Structure 1
Amino acid sequence: LDSSGLCSSQITGANTGIGKETAKELAARGARVILACRNVTKGEQAASDIMKNVDGANVVVRQLDLADTKSICLFAENIYNTEKSLHFLINNAAVAICPYAKTVDGYEMQFGVNHLGHFFLTFLLLDLLKHSAPSRVINLSSAAHAMGKIRFDDLNGEKDYHPVRAYAQSKLANVLFSRELAKKTEGFGVMVFSVDPGVVNTEITRPIRRPLVDLIKTFSFVLKTPAEGAYTTVYCTVTPDNQVLTGGFYKDCALAASCRAAEDNLTSLKLWAVSCHLLGIRWR
């Protein structure tokens, strides 16, 4: 808790879907919540909606574009200048199954935003998380991680791009990053989790071709609502330390088995080293 008695939480991609519902739930539990959004106008609308529904909600909006390392640096600088503490960093934002595109810094969009953007953001905010310990980092992955492979010979998809394969790679990277980060931060009071929210009816389906979206919605009874999709994130945020396992992969509010590739220590170490090299940072 900070000096005001509040837990401080930061959620990327919090203007819609799972992120917004997570923000709403944490605000209802009395946390100060920072909505980290690429589109500030949509972020302000989300904050307004939350404050209308939650009495006394302490919600603020900050601009963050995970596809631009300069934006990530400016965001982190703003957080250090305005926040005394950070107890929960929830790396929720994602792009999914989109046509080939690159970030401002030249990375394939899905790998660049879903993995590298959050990797860099966590790196920049880790001192504040350590200062605020006990604290937690929660990385949203997906069941799609089980289809993933880290293609070190073609991380940018320049040789052979497939949108589903690129998405699965980025979600596998989320789990590998979580496991490795947990090892590095355990002695500092920072716990780390990766989460599979389930198949959720959110705006992440925007880039998917229309017929596939229509097919998915035909079977909407199997889709979770955004509020339901937020359950496991909230669980990993509020459950007491002795009831959760740092580095664990969580699904349906319980520890779950990740795929074999996600438990490969050599791959996680190599991904860590390559990520640092691409971003031009030293993080051991």
Structure 2
Amino acid sequence: MGPARLILACRSEARGLAAIQHLKESTGYDKAELMLVELSQFSSVKALADKVEAEVENLDLLVLNAAIIATSFEVTEDGYEKSLQVNNLSLDLISLRLLPKMLETAAIRTETPRIVVVSSEMHQFGDIPDLLLNDPSILEHWSSEQHNRSFASQ
């Protein structure tokens, strides 16, 4: 596609730089750059959004392609179960924070900016019980150790 600028937001600097190098070697594209983000920390997600807002003139495409599989119960510093925060809440946060930049871009471009969410087939293996759907504190319940223990045993 030959974008004027391509930013890879990655948790690991080493893996991000390796991806950029692979992209350059396999396609010849040399305008990719790395920005670091830790999706298990809302402060890191906000810092990334601030950096993009300040440094990126136009945002035509936002591809959300991040997920983890929790092997043990872990709560983030923000108080959410880690996979819930990484796989869902942080992706929503970055989308909402960057939406104004995308709307600015839409106002000056003929193409419509897009948000693309990459997913897997894991949803086929899950079920959301009615009890959870009707819970007024669904995020609190989803982040509880009790819920995650019952989910892990399924």
Q: Is the 8 A contact 1:63 1:75 kept in 2?
A: yes
Question: What stretches of structure 1 move > 6 A for 4+ residues in a row?
Answer: none
Q: Is the 8 A contact 2:59 2:101 kept in 1?
A: yes
Q: Is the 8 A contact 2:58 2:101 kept in 1?
A: yes
* Distance (whole Å) between structure 1 residues aligned to residue 72 and residue 148 of structure 2: 9
Cα deviation, 1:144-172, whole Å, max 9, x if unaligned, reads: 22423273261103223148x47xxxxxx
| Residue of structure 1 equivalent to 2:144 | 157
Within a 5 Å distance, the mapping from 1:226-245 to structure 2 comes to none
| Residue of structure 2 equivalent to 1:138 | 116
Question: How many positions carry a matched residue from both structures?
Answer: 137
| Residue of structure 2 equivalent to 1:74 | 47
* Distance (whole Å) between structure 1 residues aligned to residue 95 and residue 41 of structure 2: 15
| Residue of structure 1 equivalent to 2:127 | 148
Identity of aligned residues (%): 25
Report whether the alignment pairs 1:105 with 2:83. no
**What's the offset of the Cα at 1:97?**
4.1
Within a 5 Å distance, the mapping from 1:201-280 to structure 2 comes to none
SS in 1 for 2:23: helix
- Residues 1:142 and 1:56: Cα distance change in structure 2 (over 3 Å): closer
Residue ranges of structure 2 left out of the alignment (5+ in a row)? 107-111, 133-137
Using structure 2 for the length normalisation, give the TM-score.
Answer: 0.80
* Distance (whole Å) between structure 2 residues aligned to residue 46 and residue 148 of structure 1: 34
Residue type at the aligned position of 1:135: P
Report whether the alignment pairs 1:34 with 2:7. yes
1:121 is matched with which residue: 94, 108, 117? 94
Residue type at the aligned position of 2:117: N
- Residues 1:158 and 1:126: Cα distance change in structure 2 (over 3 Å): same
Residue type at the aligned position of 1:158: E
Greater relative contact order structure (CA < 8 Å, 6+ sep): 2
Larger mean CA deviation between 49-58 and 68-77 belongs to 49-58
* Distance (whole Å) between structure 2 residues aligned to residue 56 and residue 113 of structure 1: 29
RMSD, aligned CA: 2.0
